[in-house]
Amino acid sequence: MRKTLFTASVLAVALAAPFAQAHQAGDVILRAGAITVDPREDSGEVSAGATTFDGSQATLDSDTQLGLNFAYMVTDNVGIELLAATPFSHDVGVKGVAQGIDGKLGSLKHLPPTLSIVYYPLDKSSSFQPYVGAGINYTWFFDTKLSSSADQVFDGFDVQDSWGVAAQVGMDYMLTDSIMLNAQVRYIDIDTTGTTYLGDSKVKVDIDVDPMVYMVGLGYKF
């Protein structure tokens, strides 16, 4: 009996989805899911005072957190969207500098709120709603720390905040009139400079972080 009821429920959702009305003017949409920031860093060479270490560079690892989207539909096809998330944490490393210095430099956290305009090309009667978007990002870096080993060599660690553009593609699939599946991919332009001190010499490196950002989750339309 339970199996029969479960099967009937699945069929009911499957049959209802194609008739679910998608977004229209005035809708407020909340999406939540797993979001991954995957840096595709292009680092400049590390410099200390007037010395530049040829072939050196900084590295960043990726991280996954809880992602949130808040969207308001201005028209049936155009919306304004804000991306938010719980803080991302990244290990920062250097290589190509010198033995005893290369390795994990430290860690940092960041928040990348991004405001975008999104466009849905299909009619609102379609349950499948692909979209594209473009906007502006502000990345706030905080809680920067040197690793225990780097703390024996360097003094202090700072990373500059960043403004940049962002672009995305995504899709919603309406399961009901209010609930949807969502998947999205973004590119965010994040350029920053990391600094620390080696004795009296200021050590710095310019980093184009430029991550790809992936998110999958569920949404609810109010």
Q: Is residue 3 part of a domain?
A: no
Q: Is residue 55 part of a domain?
A: yes
Q: Is residue 5 part of a domain?
A: no
Q: Is residue 28 part of a domain?
A: yes
> Binning pLDDT at 50, 70 and 90, where does residue 12 land?
very low
Q: Is residue 132 part of a domain?
A: yes
Domain extent, residue 87, equals: 20-221
- The whole-chain average pLDDT of the chain stands at 87
Q: What is the DSSP letter of 150?
A: G
Q: Residue 99: its pLDDT value, please?
A: 67
Residue 141 has pLDDT above 70, yes or no: yes
Q: Is residue 4 part of a domain?
A: no
Q: Residue 20: its pLDDT value, please?
A: 60
Bridge partners of residue 66, in order along the sequence: 34
Region of 26 on the Ramachandran plot (φ > 0 left; ψ -120 to 50 alpha; else beta): left
DSSP-based three-state secondary structure for 80: strand
Q: Is residue 128 part of a domain?
A: yes
pLDDT over 70 for what percent of the chain? 88
Q: Identify the CATH number of the domain in which residue 210 sits.
A: 2.40.160.20
When divided into structural domains, the chain yields a total of 1
Q: Is residue 204 part of a domain?
A: yes
> Binning pLDDT at 50, 70 and 90, where does residue 213 land?
very high
Averaged pLDDT, 16-30: 77
Q: What is the DSSP letter of 12?
A: H
**Range of lowest pLDDT (44-48, 130-134, 188-192):** 44-48
Which tens digit of pLDDT belongs to each residue from 112-128? 999 999 999 999 889 99
Tally of helices (H runs) and strands (E runs) in the chain: 1, 17
DSSP-based three-state secondary structure for 89: strand
Residue 9 has pLDDT above 70, yes or no: no
